[in-house]
A = this chain, B = another copy of it.
Amino acid sequence: MSRLSVNQETIKQWSLPELAIGCEAAGVRQVGLWREPVREYGLARTARLMGDAGLGVTSLCRGGFLTDAEPAARRRALDDNRAALDEAATLGTDTLVLVSGGLPAGSRDLAGARERVAEAVGELCPYAAERGVRLAIEPLHPMFAADRCVVSTLAQALDLAERFPADRVGVVVDTYHLWWDDRVPEQIARAGAGGRVHSFQLADWVTPLPAGVLLGRGQLGDGCVDFRAFRSMVESAGFDGAIEVEIFNEELWARPGAEVLAELLDRFHRFVC
């Protein structure tokens, strides 16, 4: 239970102060944050709020979107990622989650887009090292390959990460994106052996998927993901970091935050511990 981290998007209806109070009341000691709500509340103010509440920040979502071929767009993306690294350092988290970005409009060149991600990660690496923040490449489910993330499997994410030092570039193991892949056991072992599991995130897979598919993640236990099997795999691979619950689901967002958090804790006990 001490390893649980609640990603703020899971209880998006809560403001940052509500999140701090709600987590304290429920005994949750760690959270994952998103850049947009942090910016809205104020970066320094958020860092103070987390510090005063004694809440650890396990990750910041997100950098990335590095697939553009056009030079000016590419420079803007790199600048934005440097800003994200600054924000992560200020918030005291050692992990910036990177979502690579999809295919540029009109492009059919997946391999080229993936290569541009690798180049961009290489450019960001020294800046990340100076700030003591690790870049965690998140493979997203293949249904997002066109419009959100050309890195679709853990094997691809590792192929990319392994070009760089393990203490600088690693991967996110997110059950929602990876549950279907029969290569995951061997790839988690590979990630663990290399010290590259930088983040472990949970959400369940439920069907039918909603239009646009982004907000289709399920509460733990509502779907078909075997969380204990995933937890056992990452732990056997040497991971002992935070277990972050990150669910985007409009039904959860429509309910009182405290109720959602209580349900999440109950489900975490029943399906993960």
Binding site for B on A (CB under 8 A): 103, 107-111, 114, 141-143, 145-147, 152-153, 156, 179-182, 205, 207-213, 223-226, 229
Contacts and interface: CB of A to CB of B under 8 A. Distances in A.
Contacts of A141: 142-143
Given A143-B143, A152-B180, A107 B211 contact: no
A103 B224 contact: yes
Contacts of A180: 110, 142, 145-146, 152
B208 A210 contact: no
Contacts of A156: 182
> How many copies of the polypeptide does the oligomer hold?
2
Nearest to A228: B108
A152 to B, nearest CB: 5
A233 B227 CA distance: 38
Given A146-B205, A147-B207, A213-B213, 8 more contacts: A107-B224, A109-B226, A114-B182, A141-B143, A143-B143, A145-B180, A146-B223, A208-B212
A110 B182 contact: yes
Contacts of A223: 146
Nearest to A225: B108
A212 to B, nearest CB: 5
22 contacts: A107-B224, A108-B224, A108-B225, A108-B226, A109-B226, A110-B182, A141-B142, A142-B143, A143-B143, A145-B179, A145-B180, A146-B205, A146-B224, A147-B207, A152-B180, A152-B181, A152-B182, A153-B182, A208-B212, A208-B213, A209-B211, A210-B211
A221 to B, nearest CB: 10
